[in-house]
Chain A
Amino acid sequence: ETGVTQSPTHLIKTRGQQVTLRCSSQSGHNTVSWYQQALGQGPQFIFQYYREEENGRGNFPPRFSGLQFPNYSSELNVNALELDDSALYLCASSGEVGVNTEAFFGQGTRLTVV
């Protein structure tokens, strides 16, 4: 039990639709990172939020966007879904930026785009 929960666990969407994935971090963790994991691959960094501001972004198009809220919850939004967006989406919470701290992962949301 990591104390990080994601919802929903599974989701099926149609190409072109929009989706919102949610993550509830551990209390006191001000940093949340989102990753996309395609089948058989390691997770790829999408972006990170620290104290409600974006703090780094990977090589993902602008249709991937996020929000972080003061209550340690966060969202990943994907617009204009494409078939290649089908993947496991993971969020990870950690402490303060600039301090090496352990990352705690949620169980992931498996998104299927048809």
Chain B
Amino acid sequence: KNEVEQSPQNLTAQEGEFITINCSYSVGISALHWLQQHPGGGIVSLFMLSSGKKKHGRLIATINIQEKHSSLHITASHPRDSAVYICASTWKGGSEKLVFGKGMKLTVNP
């Protein structure tokens, strides 16, 4: 069974801090997604990766296939980064559905 775990569940940071959000998964995946959800519900895809590292602006996502672990890093955090960050996997052995973690609520204070 594919399970996705995220830690921590809540994080409060000061503006400018470097933030790391962790995600681990239990079985082989074909891709790992990092998503952002703001109050009100809409989800935005930040990254999809199956190996290595991706960077977009102040966001960096890494994945370690052997350890079944991924991290999302936010550099120079800003209050507008406050949101719920969710990781989700696409399972190699199953259908194309996304299996989601519970998400991590990030609050960045000015």
Contacts and interface: CB of A to CB of B under 8 A. Distances in A.
Contact of B98 (A45, A50, A110): A45
Nearest to A98: B96
Interface stretch (B12-20, B56-64, B67-75, B100-108): B100-108
Given A42-B86, A103-B98, A110 B45 contact: no
A85 B100 CA distance: 19
Interface string B35-47: 1000011111100
A39 B27 CA distance: 26
A110 B40 CA distance: 9
A58 B43 CA distance: 20
A21 interface: no
Interface in A1-32: 2, 31
Contacts of B96: 31, 33, 48, 50, 55-56, 94, 97-98
B95 A103 contact: no
B97 A56 contact: yes
A105 B44 contact: yes
A104 B95 contact: no
Contacts of A58: 97
Chain A contact residues (Cβ within 8 angstroms of B): what range? 20 to 34
Contacts of B102: 40-42
Interface string A66-90: 0000000000000000000000101
A65 interface: no
Contacts of A33: 96-98
Interface of B: 4, 30-31, 33, 35, 40-45, 48, 50, 86, 88, 90, 94-103
Given A43-B86, A90-B41, A90-B43, 9 more contacts: A35-B100, A41-B102, A42-B100, A44-B100, A45-B99, A48-B95, A92-B43, A103-B33, A105-B45
